[in-house]
Amino acid sequence: MPDRIYSISDLASEFDITPRTLRFYEEKGLLAPARQGQKRLFSHADRVRVALILRGKRCGLSLEESRDIINMYEPGQNNAEQLHSLLGKIEERRAVIATQLADLNEMMQELDAVQARCEAALQTMQEEATS
Amino acid sequence: MPDRIYSISDLASEFDITPRTLRFYEEKGLLAPARQGQKRLFSHADRVRVALILRGKRCGLSLEESRDIINMYEPGQNNAEQLHSLLGKIEERRAVIATQLADLNEMMQELDAVQARCEAALQTMQEEATS
DNA sequence: ATTGACGTTTACGTTAACGTCAACTATATT
DNA sequence: AATATAGTTGACGTTAACGTAAACGTCAAT
């Protein structure tokens, strides 16, 4: 049901955030849910945007960066200049992500090494205990 | 020269941060440079720690998280309980990094898709112009 | 001897991303 | 009608990670 409508607390509980957070995201221009009087009505598209924002956060993006990237996903009808500028931004972002991937892989390798040292130390302790 | 000594501005300019930042890291317990009177004397080991902190930041870690992870790298002489706890933390961190890697790869793929759409749009505009 | 470059501590200011009230509205239920 | 439930808009508080400014020490060079 892609045309389902979500209340603010529906989305809040689903994504394990507070209503305040969703209002804040709207205030910052990351969301623009429909209204019925005062109440916010979140669409499926809004829900996807929330998921993208949270993924961005997990990657260490600021809300502003997330907003920019999410806006990339909806090119709309642009002129050539805008498209070129967008391609440039995509290249920049790609570079950032590339170094981040490299950094994460490094950290992972080092954790492997530390883990190996830990297990070796434990092994040694056990051998000493049974000697 | 692994025994070289760095001034605070040496490291600041090398890593493109301010002296204030290095003092702040010390204040937060991430660094503990030697002193000669008032002056801080940064060793090669301190330099490595700074690099680790900054890599952590690029990965979206808080300073506290970076400090914890860096401390993992120097197990020192621990007892079995500490080693087990450390192994647990390593596993947790490994899981976080794994999802982060997945998130980044997703973002990268989506950027690929947006880029393709952009280039296609530009292509179309060019063809229209020469028709 | 004073200027300038570099360092120090102390302390207050700032931004991002919300948390936490308070006071109010609307709707549904008992 | 009164209560409960879910929503709203301010407005102020909070934490992390520094920035910025003041006031001072030190040492070499002019």
Question: Does any strand C atom come closer than 7 Å to the Cβ of A21?
Answer: yes
Alpha-helix runs per DSSP H in chain A: 8-15, 19-27, 44-58, 63-72, 80-129
CA A65 to C1' C16, in angstroms, rounded, equals 12
Nucleotides of strand D within 7 Å of the protein's CB atoms: 6-9, 16-21, 26-27
Confidence grade of residue B1 (pLDDT, cut at 50, 70, 90):
low
Highest mean pLDDT range out of A59-73, B10-24, B89-103?
B10-24
More confident residue, B129 or A23: A23
A-chain residue closest to B115, CA distance: A87
Percent pLDDT > 70 in chain B is: 96
Q: Residues for chain B: how many in total?
A: 131
Q: Cα–Cα distance between A101 and A105 in angstroms, integer?
A: 6
CA angle in degrees (0–180, nearest 5) for B101-B107-B110: 145
pLDDT in tens, B90-100: 898 899 999 99
pLDDT surpasses 80 at A75: no
Q: What is the pLDDT of residue A24?
A: 98
pLDDT band at B7 (very low <50, low <70, confident <90, very high): very high
Shortest distance, CA B9 to any CA of chain A (angstroms): 25
Instruction: Give me the pLDDT at residue A1, please.
Output: 66
The gap between A37 CA and D10 C1' (Å) is 18
Q: Which positions 19-58 on chain A have a beta carbon less than 7 angstroms from any atom of strand D? A: 19, 23, 38-40
Q: How far apart are CA B22 and CA B36, in angstroms?
A: 17
- Spatial distance from the CA of B27 to the C1' of C9 (Å): 12
Is the Cβ atom of A20 within 7 Å of strand C at any atom?
A: yes
Are the CB atoms for B113 and A82 separated by under 8 Å? no
Dump pLDDT digits (tens) for B42-70: 999 999 999 999 999 999 899 999 999 99
Residue A131 above 80 pLDDT?
A: no
Q: At what angle do helices B19-27 and B8-15 cross, to 10 degrees?
A: 110
